Structure 1
Amino acid sequence: MAVILEFTVDAAEFLLGGTLEQATGVELIELERVIPLGNQSIPFLWVVADDFETFERSVRTQPAVAALDQFGVIDRHGLYRIEWAVDPPNQLIDGLVDANATLLEAHHGERWLFRIRFPAHDLLTQFYTYCTDHEIRIHVERVFPLSHPPRRGPVFDLSPEQREALVLAIDRGYFETPREVTLDELAADLEISQQALSDRIRRGVQQVLVDSLSALETV
């Protein structure tokens, strides 16, 4: 049975995170979903920024980076791919590839949050053992089978950041008509950018709708 793992990890624990932590001029970085990861160990990145030139320059100066390719910009969202100058390029990502994992979500905040699906529990165990063997310290947040989300805790499959943003937005009257608070005011409360908060709310609302409609289909 497929199983989902949510974990957080410090940027310094894997090459991709450590490299992007040095990037400047950027608001949000998220790994592009790849289903499955297959043998692709050079992930694509979505970057939210006002100044892509500054971001690109700061990444390209990193010694581990051989090339940074941009595939286009849509509404402040730029799609990039990193090619590495070192081998192995990224032990954390390689561990997921070896375990035949599917990347559902990965983005950076104070730490990187990953949501990963494994075809079977033994492959999750393989990945965890891989991290231990390579001294990659991950912090497991949740593990649950795909067909049976956990009854305790959150009802909807939201990240902690999405949940925090939605709860604050509801409490402060953001969804009221007329609105009782602006997006900028909420972003200031959370000490993040307006764009980052907008993305969290949008993705959170989308996840609530997906979970709700999926639940109705099983009734």
Structure 2
Amino acid sequence: MSVTLEFTVENDQFTLGQVLSGPPSMRIELERIVPTGTSAMPFLWVSGEDYASFEEKVVSHRFVEDIIAIDRVENAVLYRVTWHDDHTDLIRGITDAQGTVLQAFSNGGWEFHVRFPDHDKLSQFHNYTTDSGISIHINRTYTVTERTESVHQFGLSDEQREALVLGLRRGYFDTPSEASLDELANELGISQQAVSNRVRRGTKQVLSEILLSTAADFD
């Protein structure tokens, strides 16, 4: 059975974090990882104010061969980063252990959600980080069954969960907000009213399950 690992890691612990850290301040999310022979090619969604300085910083790193903007939307750019073949670190450890990056974003350090085919592959990745001297902080691990039970616990529909997760990833709930309801609606392919209803009702459902279930503790 597949198992998902959620962990955080500091920028200085892996090449991608080192390349992307520092000014200019940009919001970065890893789109996916494509193994390419002896290397791995990350696709990055980046939003912020100074794309030119960001591109210059990344391409000047000794491990980066090139960075190309392959798609642009209203408030973000999708980049493809090509690496030189002579580096090995966290990303290689994930791909070697057949991990699939479900979510990865920069938040001071980085937070990763990675699914592995089974516990043996998860152990392979953990051993890799230990042997390579890469320090990660494990937040939790769970199987598909455990995750499904967790989602069902809050009584969310698939559509509500999809809207809430997208809102979190795009910074809709940040202060100030980094994404509008129109932008979420466009990405989901639905109307602004529909996404507003999903976010509002989903948020109410989660808060009701968490807060009202524990309200008796404070009575």
Which is helix-richer, 1 or 2? 2
Which residue in the other structure is 1:74 paired with? 73
User: CA shift at 1:51, angstroms?
Assistant: 2.4
Structure 2: which 5+ residue stretches go unaligned?
155-160, 189-197, 207-219
Which residue in the other structure is 1:195 paired with? 178
Counterpart AA for 1:16:
L
Following TM superposition, the consecutive aligned residue runs of length 4 or more in structure 1 with deviations greater than 6 angstroms are 156-159, 196-200
Q: How does 1:26-41 map to 2 (within 5 A)?
A: 26-34=25-33, 37-39=34-36, 41=40
Which is strand-richer, 1 or 2? 2
Question: How far apart, CA to CA, are the structure 2 residues paired with 1:155 and 1:32?
Answer: 28
Indicate the RMSD between aligned Cα atoms, in angstroms. Answer: 3.7
Q: 1:155 to 1:20 in 2, by over 3 A?
A: farther
Question: How far apart, CA to CA, are the structure 2 residues paired with 1:150 and 1:205?
Answer: 20
Question: How far apart, CA to CA, are the structure 2 residues paired with 1:38 and 1:119?
Answer: 16
Instruction: Give yes or no for the alignment of 1:111 onto 2:94.
Output: no
- Provide the identity percentage: 34
User: Any conservation in 2 of the 1:50–1:76 contact (CA below 8 Å)?
Assistant: no
SS of the residue 2:147 aligns to = coil
Which digits, 9 at most, give the CA deviation of each residue in 1:148-180, with x for residues without a partner? 22978x956989x949x89xx6xxxxxxxxxxx
TM-score normalised by L of structure 1: 0.68
Question: How far apart, CA to CA, are the structure 2 residues paired with 1:9 and 1:106?
Answer: 11
User: Any conservation in 2 of the 1:47–1:80 contact (CA below 8 Å)?
Assistant: yes
Which residue in the other structure is 1:98 paired with? 96
Which residue in the other structure is 2:22 paired with? 22
* Aligned residues between the structures: 179
TM-score normalised by L of structure 2: 0.68
Question: How far apart, CA to CA, are the structure 2 residues paired with 1:46 and 1:29?
Answer: 6
